[in-house]
Structure 1
Amino acid sequence: MQTFRNDGFELAYIDEGKGVPILLIHGFASTHFVNWVAPGWVKTLRDAGYRVLALDNRGHGRSQKSHDKADYTPRKMAADAAALLDHLEIPRAHIMGYSMGARISAFLALEAPHKVASLILGGLGLGMVEGVGDWDEIAEALLADDPDKIVSERGMMFRKFADQTKSDRRALAACIATSRELLSAADAARIDAPALVAVGTRDDIAGSAEGLANLLPAGEAFSIERRDHMLAVGDRTFKARALEFLKEHPLDEA
């Protein structure tokens, strides 16, 4: 991986392939590899002729960590994504995010709309506006000294995920505290880039894809059939629809 610096953080990223650029932004407690390489997204997009960029968000993967909650607002992480495009001298790109990465992508579209040709928002629908439930239990699970005492099913799921990826659990607990900032309906209405909102039909975290798509001026929804939050990301129908969407909205006409 290569690195660049923004806002005092050293951030790791990959840059593969040639062609129209697409920037991939991963979800909470994940990494560029877990979210995009392992499920086949990088290969799929590269083989389709795209230049694929993917970073490890601050606090994740090989990027620098912080235990300060103030460092993990969606706007600050969106600024990291914008800074990567600037670092690579890419004025405009397609943007794709999953779960927390979808939220970051939406804030990027608000803060730097000129950089965003189109949006693919996976794993987060109307929950981006209405909230996705009480996630304090996840922070508690991440910080628990004894994982056997974790009673929250969702908390245990993310604790196991964090342990499997050998993540800095204190950094993740700080991240989950402030990265959940909601997008207002009014702000959603300001995002005029073409946007595909894709959510698994068994996803109990994301909220309605149709609900968010209806708030976006150029939004459309896609249901990832029979997939939950964790399994939807690698679904082949999701990949196929994403490629179609990108063809429907070429960067030079977006």
Structure 2
Amino acid sequence: MNLDAPPFSSFRNDGLDLAYFDDGDPAGEPVLLIHGFASSASVNWVYPGWLRTLGDAGYRVIAIDNRGHGGSAKPHDPEAYHPTSMAADAAALLTHLGIADAHVMGYSMGARISAFLAIEHPDRVRSLVFGGLGIGMCDGVGDWDPIADALLAPSLDDVSHERGRMFRAFADQTKSDRLALAACIRTSRDLVRREDIARVEIPTLIGVGTKDDIAGSPHELAELMPRAVALDIPNRDHMLAVGDRVFKKAALDFYSELAGN
């Protein structure tokens, strides 16, 4: 299987140069992919096989490197990273590509951004797939300040906090800008209000690993939304659920069902 990343292009929004790829079948229905914290379009969507899965199924596959990540601009000001701003980046990418609306799939922080996109730009979203984030998008996902501290520590050896070590190791592995990520983690966790997500009538699939201790319940979130279904991804934690075959099959089935309606 060829898991090389496709060519990236860039566009400008909010004074920032933002990287993206546009691959798959150009005549297919567009799917916009929004990655998670400390990840990138390639790490979240190409290497775990999503680009191949969706492309082989006939979709046009678009993915953005969120600000602070991948090949995009990396401001060090926390005010740059509110999810409403990153949702505006995603909407601007669709405009840049001349796409009126798309299926939108986000993982973890990308699911939160996708939720803000659906709330603030509902005409741009055909459907939603949230991965790696359930009711935590409304209720919070625990104390993340130690993660910012871990990102700013001199080295991984100086980090004792378990989740902090996990994200610091991931950031080191992906050669990320740790100052940008530390800024991002401080403001990208703005909560989605329950009353706002309850008004999102877009068809939604919510997939969370059964061993995920970050996301919160997908079922509780689905119960809030008029047209949402929850998916338990068996025996997967937050890091491993993203590429799981059960998740991929459920997403393809979800899209097929929408096409049949």
Same-fold call, TM cutoff 0.5: yes
Helix, strand or coil for the counterpart of 1:120? strand
Which residue in 2 is equivalent to 1:101?
A: 110
**Which amino acid letter does the alignment assign opposite residue 6 of structure 1?**
N
Q: Runs of 4+ in structure 1 displaced over 4 angstroms?
A: none
1:22 and 2:46 correspond = no
Which of residues 212, 228, 239 in structure 2 aligns to 1:230? 239
**Which amino acid letter does the alignment assign opposite residue 128 of structure 2?**
L
Which residue in 1 is equivalent to 2:219?
A: 210
Instruction: Tell me how far apart the structure 1 counterparts of residues 155 and 19 of structure 2 sit (CA, whole Å).
Output: 31
Helix, strand or coil for the counterpart of 1:249? helix
Instruction: Tell me how far apart the structure 2 counterparts of residues 150 and 175 of structure 1 sit (CA, whole Å).
Output: 19
The superposition leaves residues 1-43 of structure 1 with CA deviations (integer Å, 9 ceiling, x where unpaired) of 1000000110000000221000000000000000000000001
**Which amino acid letter does the alignment assign opposite residue 51 of structure 2?**
V
**Which amino acid letter does the alignment assign opposite residue 2 of structure 1?**
S
Q: CA deviation at 1:71?
A: 0.2
In the superposition, the TM-score normalised over structure 2's length comes to: 0.95
Q: CA deviation at 1:249?
A: 1.4
Q: Is the 8 A contact 2:24 2:51 kept in 1?
A: no
Which of residues 110, 113, 118 in structure 1 aligns to 2:122? 113
1:182 and 2:194 correspond = no
How is 1:1-254 mapped onto 2 (pairs within 5 angstroms)? 1-18=8-25, 19-250=28-259
Which residue in 1 is equivalent to 2:4?
A: none
Instruction: Tell me how far apart the structure 1 counterparts of residues 158 and 18 of structure 2 sit (CA, whole Å).
Output: 34
Instruction: Tell me how far apart the structure 1 counterparts of residues 156 and 240 of structure 2 sit (CA, whole Å).
Output: 24
Q: CA deviation at 1:49?
A: 0.4
Instruction: Tell me how far apart the structure 1 counterparts of residues 18 and 53 of structure 2 sit (CA, whole Å).
Output: 24
Helix, strand or coil for the counterpart of 2:192? coil
User: What residue ranges of structure 2 are gaps of 5+ in the alignment?
Assistant: 1-7
Total equivalences in the alignment: 252
User: What residue ranges of structure 1 are gaps of 5+ in the alignment?
Assistant: none
The superposition leaves residues 67-112 of structure 1 with CA deviations (integer Å, 9 ceiling, x where unpaired) of 0000000000000000000000000100000000000000000111
**Which amino acid letter does the alignment assign opposite residue 106 of structure 1?**
A
Helix, strand or coil for the counterpart of 1:199? strand
Helix, strand or coil for the counterpart of 2:128? strand
Instruction: Tell me how far apart the structure 2 counterparts of residues 17 and 165 of structure 1 sit (CA, whole Å).
Output: 25
Instruction: Tell me how far apart the structure 2 counterparts of residues 79 and 192 of structure 1 sit (CA, whole Å).
Output: 20
Instruction: Tell me how far apart the structure 1 counterparts of residues 100 and 158 of structure 2 sit (CA, whole Å).
Output: 49
Instruction: Tell me how far apart the structure 1 counterparts of residues 156 and 228 of structure 2 sit (CA, whole Å).
Output: 41
The percentage of counterpart residues that share the same residue type is 64
Instruction: Tell me how far apart the structure 1 counterparts of residues 15 and 211 of structure 2 sit (CA, whole Å).
Output: 39
**Which amino acid letter does the alignment assign opposite residue 96 of structure 1?**
M
Instruction: Tell me how far apart the structure 2 counterparts of residues 30 and 248 of structure 1 sit (CA, whole Å).
Output: 30
Q: CA deviation at 1:248?
A: 1.2
Instruction: Tell me how far apart the structure 1 counterparts of residues 103 and 52 of structure 2 sit (CA, whole Å).
Output: 16
Q: CA deviation at 1:61?
A: 0.5
In the superposition, the TM-score normalised over structure 1's length comes to: 0.98
